[in-house]
């Protein structure tokens, strides 16, 4: 049985910011992040996939080069789109848009940030990618907490269950691809 190893990017330096799709700097450069992931062990990775975000794409490219396999970038692997909230501080959003923020926080499974997307839309695009992922051999995915949680839902968890479990940075999560 082959597996997808999904890895969340390195921690970001944008503490307190809403940064779903915004490109933000990470605490590790691409080489250091890749080395940390590769230190988990030897896998038989035949393909590497990544979100287009630089925080994912950089380490994924390093790993693909080190393993001598192809790198595939797919827009369906982006983090949740926070729309008009991208790049703004959560504190400022709480002051400037308390109603919208409260509505989203209390109905996060159905509501979307202004101009953004719902978790159902995130799940839909990750599910489409998953269904088209070539089978046979292990694959590595460098992405975000949102797509990793969507993969948990695709594997049978509820969104509540998927959200209750942490998604540590640079730690591989296995998803069977039977």
Contact status, residue 110 vs residue 140, Cβ threshold 8 Å:
no
CA distances from 34 to 3, 57, 96, 136, 166 (A): 19, 11, 39, 23, 20
- Helix (H) or strand (E) run with residue 50 in it: strand 45-50
Q: Under CATH, which architecture does the 2-177 domain have?
A: 3-Layer(aba) Sandwich (3.40)
Q: Are 143 and 50 in contact (CB under 8 A)?
A: yes
The answer to whether the beta carbons of residues 26 and 12 sit under 8 Å apart is yes
Q: Is the pTM of this model over 0.85?
A: yes
- Domain positions in the chain: 2-177
| pLDDT tens digits in sequence order for the chain, 178 residues long | 789 999 999 999 988 999 999 999 999 999 999 999 999 876 789 999 999 999 999 999 999 999 999 999 999 999 999 999 999 999 999 999 999 999 999 999 999 999 999 999 999 999 999 999 988 889 999 999 999 999 999 999 999 999 999 999 999 999 998 7
Classify burial at 68, counting beta carbons within 10 Å of its beta carbon; exposed 0-12, middle 13-18, buried 19 or more. Answer: exposed
């Amino acid at each position: 049985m082959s597996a997808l190893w999904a890895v969340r990017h390195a921690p970001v330096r944008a503490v307190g910011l809403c940064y779903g799709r915004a490109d933000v700097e990470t605490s590790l450069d691409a080489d250091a992040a890749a080395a940390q992931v590769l230190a988990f062990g030897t896998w038989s990775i035949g393909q590497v996939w990544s979100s287009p975000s630089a925080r994912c794409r950089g380490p994924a490219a390093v790993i693909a080069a080190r393993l001598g396999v192809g790198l595939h970038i797919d827009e369906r692997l982006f983090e949740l789109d926070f729309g008009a909230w991208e790049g703004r501080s959560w504190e400022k959003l709480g002051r400037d848009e308390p109603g919208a923020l409260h509505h989203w926080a209390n109905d996060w499974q159905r509501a979307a940030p202004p101009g953004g997307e719902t978790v159902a839309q995130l799940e839909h695009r990750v599910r489409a990618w998953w269904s088209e992922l070539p089978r046979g051999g292990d694959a590595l995915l460098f992405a975000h907490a949102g797509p990793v949680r969507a993969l948990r839902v695709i594997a049978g968890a509820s969104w509540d269950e998927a959200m209750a479990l942490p998604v540590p940075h640079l730690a591989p999560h296995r998803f069977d691809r039977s």
